[in-house]
Amino acid sequence: MQHVIEVLFPYLILLYACDCITYLGANQFLLTSWFGKKFQIKRSGFRLAGLLPTSQVIVTQRLTFHCTPEGVYVASNQPANKIGITSAGNFEFIAYEDLNCIEVEGKNIKINEIHTIRTPSSENAKYQTDMIMELKDSRRSVRTDKIAAWLQASFDLKAIEQTRFSHSRVFSIIRFLSSYLFLVVFLVLPAVLYTDLSKYAKLDVLVVCIALSYILLLATTVFTVRRSYRSDKDTRMYTLLSVIFSPVNALHVIGYLTRNLYSRFHSLALAASFLPANAFKDFIRKELLLMEQRMDDIERKDWRELWKLKRELAYDLLKARNINLDELLAAPVRQDQSALLYCPYCLTEYSKKRHSCIDCDMALREFEADRQPMVSD
């Protein structure tokens, strides 16, 4: 048996390392944390997530559709720009009267068999579809209140905290079990296989210990996914199959369990709940800029009203985190004294006049002219 495990062990490490790499689409964000406390945000591309058994991973995304009392604005399968923004020209407006068919296909929502909208999870796709259907079937007069209520629910910091709290106990057990299994598999097992430690520890006993801990961890995982993802069959199946067919994935199963746990909340509210102050400030500053830009993109009253409402909810998050709006949006301190312009999004400075930022296409702003000292009479 020792020879078989010696041959398999490097593949085990390779499988685990591959499972730590996640691909993020243009509109997706990843909140990751090594120990479940301090989170950081990661944007599109191949990203490392869930390296440790204690690492938590939360996926959130900017949805590519927006509901107003008049209808749905859909940007399906459209290319996003360098910072993940779909331009206003790519949005198509579908009035509720013209909405004939809307169905869920896994994580996607299909509208009128033409538009495909990606969402973070199948549960989220179902939630959003139910919302659109309810708006379609409602009278015009009550749609505004319904949209406001849904948006408020997606910005609800207390509800996020409640979800976090209700899972804290079971996640502590899972973290303990997977950390124990991680140490045994990646430290004790190679020591027994490749060093003199084999004289003191029996490989058979070690394998039985690993198998028993794995079964216990699997049972806790089954209990948690059944409780947390009651209406999300796809996430339930995906998590369980990942852990059963590649047992090494059980070592960081907590990342699988947290991934879609908050999928119905807005990315800004999740950032307010999980990011440290400076990282949240940077994120919300950028999102507020994009909101301003979005608001003027389409000249329709319902569109502008929707973005105004979202902006108000974002301002509430600032209040909750004690952040001053004026300070947040003030021009940055000039690093290069010859700089004339700066990009309000990425804060790159420009000493030559140009219209937009090379990196993010955002319109550049002028640094405030230096104030002359007051001369008294």
List residues near Zn ion by CB under 5 A: 343, 345-346, 357, 359-360
What is the closest distance, in whole angstroms, from the C-beta atom of residue 285 to Zn ion in the complex?
12
DSSP H helices in the chain = 2-19, 122-137, 140-154, 157-183, 189-194, 203-228, 233-245, 253-259, 267-274, 277-297, 301-320, 325-329
What is the closest distance, in whole angstroms, from the C-beta atom of residue 84 to Zn ion in the complex?
13
Judged by beta carbon, residue 105 or residue 359, the one nearer Zn ion is: 359
Residue identified by tokens 């390296």 is 51
Look at the alpha carbons of 319, 144, 268, 158 in this order and tell me if their dihedral is positive or negative: positive
Judged by beta carbon, residue 234 or residue 349, the one nearer Zn ion is: 349
Provide, for the chain, the percentages of residues in helix, strand and coil under a 3-state DSSP scheme, each rounded to the nearest 5.
55, 15, 30
What is the closest distance, in whole angstroms, from the C-beta atom of residue 353 to Zn ion in the complex?
15
Residue identified by tokens 């990751």 is 32
Q: Contact, 91 vs 74, CB < 8 A?
A: yes
Judged by beta carbon, residue 265 or residue 350, the one nearer Zn ion is: 350
What lies within 8 Å, CB to CB, of 345 at 6+ separation is 83, 286, 289, 357, 360, 362
Kindly list the distances between the CA atom of residue 183 and the CA atoms of 105, 113, 179, 192, 200, in Å, as whole numbers in the listed order. Answer: 40, 50, 6, 13, 18
Q: For residue 107, which of 265, 267, 271, 263 has the smallest C-alpha distance? A: 263
What is the closest distance, in whole angstroms, from the C-beta atom of residue 118 to Zn ion in the complex?
26
What is the closest distance, in whole angstroms, from the C-beta atom of residue 290 to Zn ion in the complex?
12
What is the closest distance, in whole angstroms, from the C-beta atom of residue 342 to Zn ion in the complex?
9
Judged by beta carbon, residue 188 or residue 346, the one nearer Zn ion is: 346
Judged by beta carbon, residue 109 or residue 343, the one nearer Zn ion is: 343
Judged by beta carbon, residue 147 or residue 343, the one nearer Zn ion is: 343
What is the closest distance, in whole angstroms, from the C-beta atom of residue 282 to Zn ion in the complex?
13
Judged by beta carbon, residue 303 or residue 350, the one nearer Zn ion is: 350
Judged by beta carbon, residue 359 or residue 366, the one nearer Zn ion is: 359
What is the closest distance, in whole angstroms, from the C-beta atom of residue 160 to Zn ion in the complex?
30
Residues in the chain: 377
Q: For residue 86, which of 312, 309, 298 has the smallest C-alpha distance? A: 298
